[in-house]
A and B are shown apart, each in its own frame.
Chain A
Amino acid sequence: MIPTIDFSAPRHRAKFGYLLLAPAVLLMAVIIVYPILLSVSISMQDVRIARIGDSGEPWTLENYQWLFGSGETWHALWVTFKLVAVVGGLSVIIGFATAMLVNQKFRGRAAARLFVALPWAVPEVVATVIWAWMLDSSFGLVNWVLLTSGLVSEPIAFGSNPTAAFAAVCFVMIWKGYPLMSIMLLAGLQSIPEEQYQAAKVDGAGVWQRFWYITLPNMLPVVGVTMVMTTLWVFRDFAIIHVLTQGGPLGATTTLSILTFEQSFEFFRMGQGAAVGVLTMVLCAIISRALVGRMAKSVH
């Protein structure tokens, strides 16, 4: 006879929970944990094209010697951090400003909220292809507007001028990234109790003082979380840069994720590509741990 277990009994309830969790845990192990371990393993092998199931090369630290010894990595790191700082900083500011705007009561607020969120809803590649066309140096819309309005005397070469290319990537990433910030910050703004503002008004606080002493401190945890999300997004975003500049010109927009792609699938040095990927993963883990921990602690 098969012993029956009553899963509703208090002492068996936990077992039922584990049972329900099992498929999800297995799935995560297969699609997340295994690939991570695999890429760590590849990063320690001298392989050009990795094949799953191969007996594999002996483990070596050659790829990591290349990683820390080559100028490419340090350059890509520098580009990535610049991008994180510019995109993260500006999209927090723009996201905060738009969130405050659509948090006001005015006619057409629903439409305004939709417009704020719109760039987020457009698929990344589609949006970037359109931007690439608009930013084209010879027949793009942006240059046409700049030229006809007399802001520039000759077209800006977004494709070949490193500074312009970096600016273009930043611009498109901010355009694509600020709506999520805005939506999350709006949710944060709405959770601040109205009474706190009323109390501050009675206490004689003006508009800026209410922003500084009530809105900002209340929003810190949300800002922290959105910063982490944007940082991670910029770190790993591939499509926008790949479509817009392919990491060029002269590596001006080669971030860690572009470098990973180049090494693995353009130069077919998958061991080195995997090493860059592992470095990116470690950095992301450190950054998110630091930001989340700090923001969460600083307020509540």
Chain B
Amino acid sequence: MATVQFDQITKSYGAVEAIRDFNLDIEDGEFCVFVGPSGCGKSTALKMLAGLEATSGGTISIGGRDVTELGPGKRDIAMVFQNYALYPHMSVRKNIGFGLKMQGLPANDINAKVEEAARVLELTPYLDRKPRALSGGQRQRVALGRAIVREPAAFLMDEPLSNLDAKLRVQTRSEIVKLQRRLGVTTIYVTHDQTEALTMADKIVVMKGGEIQQVGSAEQLFHAPVNVFVAGFIGSPGMNFFHGKVESGPQGPVTRFGGHDIPLPAKCAGMSGRDMIFGIRPEHIRVGEDGPGVALSLVENLGTEKILHFHTPGENVLELDRAQVGADEERDAQTMLIRVIDDRRYSEAETLALAFPVEKLHVFDPDTHEAAAG
């Protein structure tokens, strides 16, 4: 158990900077998730922490000890790999015990610890099987067993769930969290799946293009994203964006959306006359009240919830690169989504009146894409 610190870490491949100014403090026992789209540097950061990749600058400390110049075996960490990286020629028992054997523990102690880890992970019946005789979920648990048996200062996990099917992934997700809570070992977990990040983490690190965008709890990232990218990346579906000019209305600042005045937060009073980016989450748009009317272009019924699509009014369309917005793939800039949970039947081409609750509106600077301060 230990704290983990990244201090001014950089990583470059030739002229390409893969990671810049990476500063992060992870508390003892914390579950920290690195999340971001592919190529954002999250796996590289993890590999540098593991000692599998050299840093180009900065220092990494585990438990207050500078480990930057140490090999992976001397960092007192355990790692779970995406494809599990089990040793195919060894039985489950030997796979789990390999790290202990390398530490030079006596065979009796190894066996006792392996049996204990197998009991925790419900692997006891499979101890003498080879990995290829196991299902995906069981292999995954063997990989976890190999990590926990060593009682390391930190667990590193590199997308450990991505090779499992959807149902097993959800189940294993909660098992990992329970295990981590029980063992209390600092865990650094890499994923591209924001749902995994939100459900598992104490601390989420959102990355893009080798830079940390925001560090915070699921709550903070969801309700107070610092920029357009985080706002679009976190949440499923991600936040809707539109742009508009801030004007002064009788009761405070407003913007025009589909020919209607939309009240804005009071902090926008000082931005009068400026073009801003506004964001609102699909679940925060209210339907069936007074407000701008929109025609639905598509209704997706997911059983309990429905996703309603409508075209963003022409003058409000925000032309942004998808990579900048961090939005999921199935939407385009011209479409906004509403997520509703009710019993009403919606049909395509139906016109709805919408309301954007003022306290749920996010305001971003169009130049920096950062959340606008009042």
Contacts and interface: CB of A to CB of B under 8 A. Distances in A.
Interface of A: 193, 195-196, 198-206, 209, 213-214, 217-218, 220, 299-300
Contacts of B90: 213, 217
A196 B88 CA distance: 9
A206 B50 CA distance: 15
29 contacts: A195-B85, A198-B79, A198-B85, A199-B81, A199-B86, A199-B146, A200-B87, A201-B72, A201-B73, A202-B50, A202-B52, A202-B72, A202-B73, A202-B77, A202-B99, A203-B78, A203-B99, A203-B102, A203-B146, A203-B150, A204-B73, A205-B102, A209-B102, A213-B87, A217-B87, A217-B89, A218-B88, A218-B89, A299-B88
Contacts of A209: 102
Given A204-B103, A300-B132, A199 B79 contact: yes
Given A195-B81, A195-B83, A198-B81, A203 B98 contact: yes
B71 A199 contact: no
B332 to A, nearest CB: 37
A300 B88 contact: yes
Contacts of B150: 203
A219 to B, nearest CB: 10
Contact of B85 (A193, A213, A217, A300): A193
B99 A204 contact: yes
Given A202-B51, A203-B78, 15 more contacts: A195-B82, A196-B85, A198-B52, A198-B79, A199-B85, A199-B146, A201-B71, A201-B72, A202-B72, A202-B77, A203-B73, A203-B98, A203-B146, A217-B89, A300-B88
Nearest to A206: B73
A206 B72 CA distance: 10
Interface in B81-139: 81-83, 85-90, 98-99, 102-103, 132
B359 to A, nearest CB: 47
Nearest to B52: A198
A214 B102 CA distance: 13
B85 A214 contact: no
A296 to B, nearest CB: 13
Interface of B: 50-52, 71-74, 77-79, 81-83, 85-90, 98-99, 102-103, 132, 146, 150
B88 A202 contact: no
B163 to A, nearest CB: 12
Contact of A213 (B73, B78, B98, B103): B98
A202 to B, nearest CB: 5
B52 A205 contact: no
B70 to A, nearest CB: 11
Interface centre among B72, B90, B103, by most chain A C-beta atoms within 10 angstroms, is B72
Nearest to A195: B85
A193 B86 CA distance: 10
A202 B83 contact: no
A84 B52 CA distance: 42
A222 B150 CA distance: 33
A259 to B, nearest CB: 41
Contact of B52 (A201, A204, A217): A201
A195 B71 CA distance: 16
Contacts of B88: 218, 299-300
Nearest to B152: A202
A146 to B, nearest CB: 45
Nearest to A196: B85
Contacts of A195: 81-83, 85
Nearest to B130: A300
Interface centre among A198, A217, A220, by most chain B C-beta atoms within 10 angstroms, is A198
A107 B31 CA distance: 42
Interface centre among A200, A206, A220, by most chain B C-beta atoms within 10 angstroms, is A200
A202 B79 contact: yes
Contacts of B99: 202-204
A196 B78 contact: no
Interface centre among A195, A201, A202, by most chain B C-beta atoms within 10 angstroms, is A202
Contacts of B50: 198, 202
Contact of B87 (A196, A201, A220): A196
A299 B89 contact: yes
The 10 closest A-B pairs by CB, nearest first: A204-B73, A195-B85, A203-B99, A217-B89, A199-B85, A204-B102, A201-B72, A202-B72, A202-B79, A195-B81
A198 B146 CA distance: 13
Nearest to B82: A195
Contacts of B83: 193, 195
B87 A202 contact: no
Contacts of A199: 79, 81, 85-87, 146
Contacts of A206: 73
Contacts of A201: 51-52, 71-73
A202 B89 contact: no
Contacts of B102: 200, 203-205, 209
Interface centre among B77, B78, B85, B146, by most chain A C-beta atoms within 10 angstroms, is B85
A196 B78 CA distance: 13
A194 to B, nearest CB: 9
Nearest to B100: A203
Nearest to B103: A204
A244 B303 CA distance: 83
Nearest to A192: B88
A206 B51 CA distance: 14
Nearest to B81: A195
Nearest to B97: A203
A200 B73 CA distance: 8
Contacts of B81: 195, 198-199
B136 to A, nearest CB: 16
Contacts of A198: 50, 52, 72, 79, 81, 85
A202 B78 contact: yes
Nearest to B156: A202
B266 to A, nearest CB: 53
A202 B154 CA distance: 12
A300 B130 CA distance: 9
Contacts of B73: 201-206
